Amino acid sequence: MITALGGGVGAAKFLEGLCSIIGNEPLNIIVNTGDDIKLGGLNISPDVDTIIYRLTGAVDRKKGWGLEGDTFNFLNSLKKFGLDTWFNIGDQDIATHIYRTHLRSKGFSPVEITSKIARAFGLSDNISVLPMTDQDVETWIQTNEGEMHFQEYLVKRQMKPEVCRVAIRGIDSAEPAHGVIDSISGARAVIICPSNPIISIGPILQIKGIKEALRATQAQIVAISPLVGGRPLKGPADRLMRGLGLEVTSAQVARLYADFLDTMVIDIEDAHENQEIIDLGLKTLVVDTIMSDKKKASNLASSILELL
C-alpha cells in the first residue's frame, strides 16, 4: 500500500504517472481541501476534483483542471445576475458541484461524497481519494491589497497582490478524515507530491495527528520538490514562500519536511542543492522532475518506486 499527500495540478500529473505503474497495489491519496470554496451556494473542492478528473482521464489536459470538452454557457448566463463569474465552472463540471452540494445538504461527509464522485467517474477500485478532513477549512491570503480567499488571489487576482501572510481558517479544530491516519501508518511508502508546500501540503501537515503519524510510520517517506530552478512550473509556490520570508529553493522545501522525511527528490537543474539537503540528514534523488507528458510522469514515479 502506497499513500500520497497532494493537491493541485502537479500532484495530479505525478499521480497519473504513479497509477500507470503500480498495477493493483492500493493507493491512498490524501488531498488538500484548504482551497475549497463556496460560490453561489455551491461547495467546490478544486484539488479533489482535479485529481479525480486527471486519474479517470476526464480532465482537460491542456488546462490541467476542469473537464475535457466542457462548455461555459452556465457561467456566461450567471453574469446577468451580478454573481461572481471569475471562478471557471464548466457546464459538465457544475454537475459535480451540484452533486457534492446536494449530498452535503443531506448530511454526507466530504470523504463519503468524494468516494461517490470518484466511483461515478470510474476511478479504479485500488485508488482511494481522501479529503484530508471532513471539517471545512479555508485558505486566506493576506496581501498588500487586503485579505482574500486563496482562489480569489489565484484565479481572480492572478497572483498579482504581494503575499504577507497565509491563514488556514478552521485548521486548528480540523480532525483528519476517517482513513487518513491509518493510510499513513499502514503504508509501505508515503509520497509527498510535487505540490505547493505552503497551501497544498502545508494545510495537510497542520491537521492534528498527521505530522505525528508521519514521524511514527514505518513507511519510507519521499517528497518531490515542486520547484525547478527556484520556480514552480505552475502556481504561486515561489510568491507564497517569498512572502513568508522563506528561501525559494528545493532545500527550503526539504527543511519544511525534514522532521519526518527520508528522501527528497529534486530536479537535475537543482543538483547544486544536493549537499545542503544531505546535510539536513536526508537522502536525495536528483532526476528530471519536469512532467511534460504522461511518459515523463511515469518515469519520475518509477525512479521513486525503485528507491523503496
Nearer to its own copies, 57 or 229 (CB): 57
User: Measured from the CB atom, is 112 or 269 closer to its own copies?
Assistant: 112
Residue 121 CB, nearest distance to its own copies (Å)?
7
For the bound state, the minimum distance from the C-beta of residue 129 to its own copies, rounded and expressed in Å, comes to 16
Q: Closer to its own copies at the Cβ: 91 or 175? A: 91
Nearer to its own copies, 102 or 178 (CB): 102
CB of 50 to its own copies, least distance (A): 16
Q: Minimal distance in Å, beta carbon 200 to its own copies?
A: 27
Q: How far apart are alpha carbons 59 and 142 in whole angstroms?
A: 31
150 close to 141: Cβ distance less than 8 angstroms: yes
Quick one: 25 or 136, whose CB is closer to its own copies?
136
What is the nearest approach in angstroms of its own copies to the Cβ of residue 107?
12
To its own copies, the closest distance from the beta carbon of 274 in angstroms equals 46
Distance, C-alpha 215 to centroid of its chain? 20
List residues near its own copies by CB under 8 A: 40-42, 67, 70-71, 73-78, 80-83, 90-96, 98-99, 101-102, 105, 116-117, 120-121
Closest CB to its own copies among residues 105, 173: 105
